[in-house]
Amino acid sequence: MTSEQRDQLTFDDPTTRHPDITPPEQDQPKPGLDAELEPRSDRGETSYRGTGRLEGRKALVTGGDSGIGGAVAIAFAREGADVAINYLPDEEEDAARIAELVEAAGRRCVRIPADVRDREACDLVVAEAVEGLGGLDVLVVNAGRQVAQESIEDITDEQFDDTVRTNIYAMFWTCRAAVKHLPAGSSIILSSSIQAYSPSETLLDYAMTKAAMNNFGKGLAKQLAPKGVRVNIVAPGPIWTPLQVVDGQPKEDLPEFGKGQPLGRAGQPVELAPAYVFLASSESSYVVGETLNVNGGADSP
């Protein structure tokens, strides 16, 4: 079977399902593009096969232009959902590619460039998604900021503020704006991280926000469950995305990225997509307030 014929349902060895990459040291200016990532990541362009699990759904994915968010948008479309993607204006090249793939699946793609560090922008993103999709029943809060620093003394007030506003404030504002639009049966899915449980010494501010996200998600899940809206969390391990090369990792660590996991390699964005599809679908109707860890075998609580 050729690589083009393989998909997420193919039976094979997970240690070799995707290449054991050794990325060269590289740098991109913020916010970073999949189009310039070396090696390129697998977002499911040729390796995700839909089975109709989200037919007729209307989903908003923040950070939906690249990496995990891009893979989720592709998978949702191939499962039958119309998708709105939010991204920074500088990420238009990646967003156009995701929109092309969503539309190739026969679904609608609403592109919403906006900086979610601003509350009014979060309100606008939700409003434009609802208008463009004709409603909303899946919200994926995925936009994130991660900057590695060797010492707490190197974390400036500006970096700290940007990280918290992107990862925490935007999550809160987007969820708050969305809940009034979500009918019973809807899902909210938050993108957390293995860093919430096992923080790296170089990611103090990022890891802190992901731990807070887990707590917020579990609390919101209890609040919304009686209304028939489920909230769950996905906690990725080391996944090869532009986030890693835009100061997300120390540059000298990039060649070894992900090699310490029990599977022996970094994950690819497409390997996250089935988790989001499951949590968005009615198959997970009794799954509420859970954190699904997709991390290559690392210990999780």
Task: Tell me the pLDDT tens digit for each residue of 196-225.
Answer: 999 999 999 999 999 999 999 999 999 999
CA distances from 72 to 2, 44, 147, 274, 277 (A): 23, 9, 23, 8, 8
Q: Which residues contact 259 (CB under 8 A, 6 or more apart)?
A: 20, 265, 266
Please report the pLDDT score of residue 196 as a whole number. 96
Task: Tell me the pLDDT tens digit for each residue of 64-101.
Answer: 999 999 999 999 999 999 999 999 999 999 999 999 99
Name the strand (E) or helix (H) holding 160. Answer: helix 157-164
206 catalytic residue (yes or no): yes
Question: In the structure encoding, which two tokens stand for residue 150, read together?
Answer: 């060797």
Q: Which residues contact 284 (CB under 8 A, 6 or more apart)?
A: 187, 230, 232, 278
Q: With a cut of 70, say whether residue 5 has pLDDT above it.
A: no
Q: Whose structure tokens read 């590695």?
A: 148
Please report the pLDDT score of residue 116 as a whole number. 97
Q: With a cut of 80, say whether residue 32 has pLDDT above it.
A: no
Q: 48, 87, 197, 206: which is the annotated catalytic residue? A: 206
Report whether 77 contacts 102 (CB < 8 A): yes
Instruction: Specify the CATH class of 51-294 in words.
Output: alpha beta
Please report the pLDDT score of residue 120 as a whole number. 98
Please report the pLDDT score of residue 6 as a whole number. 77
Instruction: Tell me the whole-structure pTM to 2 decimals.
Output: 0.94
| CA–CA dist 229, 214 (Å, integer) | 17
Domain boundaries, the chain: 51-294
Percent of the chain with pLDDT over 70: 98
Mean model confidence pLDDT for the chain: 93
